[in-house]
Structure 1
Amino acid sequence: MIGLFLNFLEELRTRGRIYGYRFCPRGHIKTKPIHDDKGKCVAGKAVQVMIDNNLDFNVAYNTQNPNSDQITIPHPSE
């Protein structure tokens, strides 16, 4: 628990916010079409696609509107 606190404190000090990079997947998550998902429920498949879109940096960083009020989270490699 203290390790997690210290990790978040370091993120807060170096980045100004806590993003939880410690929990980012190590590999690349690639978004796939909804019909390629193995689920049986369309709503569940849609939720999975939304999660994958948020975790796929190529999708998440290329779809943000620079004129919107969205908060831009820096890529972990920055």
Structure 2
Amino acid sequence: MRNELKALRKSRELSQGQVAIAVGVSRQTIYAVENDRCDPSLSVAFALARLFHRPVEEVFHDPGFPSTVRRAG
């Protein structure tokens, strides 16, 4: 899964530590997520999206998944 976490964090001039404290994880976790070393839990992903006032799908995305999903109908 790819993410925009680093760009969002830098645009707000926040450190990894500040983001970590805001969402209740370690700085190492934020580093790992930013560098695609791990995917966050669902609760952490939503906390990060709330922190940056973005929908979760704007912060995290799967490059292999189509951006639009067709509904049966």
Instruction: Return the TM-score normalized by structure 2.
Output: 0.25
Larger Rg, first or second structure (1 or 2): 1
Instruction: Return the TM-score normalized by structure 1.
Output: 0.24
- Larger relative contact order, structure 1 or 2 (CA cutoff 8 Å, min sep 6): 2
Task: Say which structure is richer in strand.
Answer: 2
